[in-house]
Amino acid sequence: MPEAYVTLATNDGYAIGALVLGHSLHSVGTTRDLCILITPQVSQAIKSMLEGVFNKVEVVNVMDSNDTAHLSLLNRPELGVTFTKLHAWKLTCYSKCVFLDADILAVKNSDDLFQQPELSACCDIGWPDCFNSGMFVFVPNMDTYGALLKHAQTVGSFDGGDQGVLNTFFPNWNRVSFVYNMVASATYTYLPAYKQYGSNAKLVHFLGTMKPWQHRYDSQAGQVETSPGYQHLSPFLNSWWAIYVRLVQPGVPSIDVSKASE
């Protein structure tokens, strides 16, 4: 059975992110399939583009945690839809998968992740005993899917999103290097480590409210305007935009991507 990278988009904004992610995975020479879960909100034009980049485009329903109390603690009420990620365990046509958020960019080949067991992931930079659910290695299985749904309904999610469900379901997760889900941080110990190890990054994750497609891009200069504290990520943001401008934007001339996820 084949193995696949799997991502998720519930609207055109995140689908644009997924298109860039898909192109970046091809450009680093992955030998695995690409699969995307989308919901019916994604427009037909963008769906056709996804079909050109992904081997499989699977339409699923939005699963909402309806947990506004917990999500408002995080100030991210829109993250309830990340429960939709749980559909990924139904992809039993694949023997193993690596889930990637749509706001990730592949900068180096990461296919060695497929040698890792379920559930492998990187530490979350907020609470490092937890894993960040933007990247995880998993094995599609209907029994696991059923157990996850039951767990979501009975135990619930401590943050209202998928990360809270998955961390209590997989407490003995396997840690892989941060280079497989590198995110920006404003912590004072981060920058020296970034200078030492940042060039090893394989998957860069643009976590947080400001997504690459929402940054201002100066097309004359070919440069992204970055917000204070995040300048060190600007080479990666520029790489994201270089792929977007060359391979994605020509297909979507009428869409203002900075507004597409509203």
* Residue 120: strand pairing partners: 137, 174
| Least distance to Mn ion, CB of residue 21, Å | 11
How far CA 233 is from CA of 77, 171, 182, 185, 188, in Å, comes to: 26, 31, 10, 10, 16
Which one of 5, 11, 130, 179 is in contact with ligand UDP (CB under 6 A)? 11
**65 contact choice in Mn ion, ligand UDP, none (CB below 5 to 8 Å, kind-dependent):** none
Crossing angle for the helix pair 12-27 and 44-53, nearest 10 degrees?
10
* Residue 216: strand pairing partners: 225
Cβ(7)–Cβ(23) below 8 Å = no
Which one of 103, 124, 159, 162 is in contact with Mn ion (CB under 5 A)? 103
**78 contact choice in Mn ion, ligand UDP, none (CB below 5 to 8 Å, kind-dependent):** ligand UDP
Regarding 118 and contact with Mn ion (CB under 5 A), the answer is no
Going by C-alpha positions, the residue among 119, 112, 153, 113 that lies closest to residue 133 is 119
| Least distance to ligand UDP, CB of residue 50, Å | 12
Which one of 20, 63, 102, 201 is in contact with ligand UDP (CB under 6 A)? 102
Total Cβ atoms within 10 A of residue 218: 10
Which one of 12, 67, 101, 159 is in contact with Mn ion (CB under 5 A)? 101
Residue among 35 and 207 whose Cβ is closer to Mn ion: 207
> What is the Cα–Cα distance from 108 to 98, expressed in whole angstroms?
15
**80: which 2 tokens?**
């309830």
How far CA 68 is from CA of 154, 241, 261, in Å, comes to: 17, 33, 19
Write the interaction track for ligand UDP spanning residues 81-100; mark x where CB under 6 A is met and - where it is not: xx------------------
Which one of 51, 78, 112, 218 is in contact with ligand UDP (CB under 6 A)? 78
Which residues of this protein are in contact with ligand UDP, per CB under 6 A?
7-11, 14, 78, 81-82, 101-103, 134, 207-208
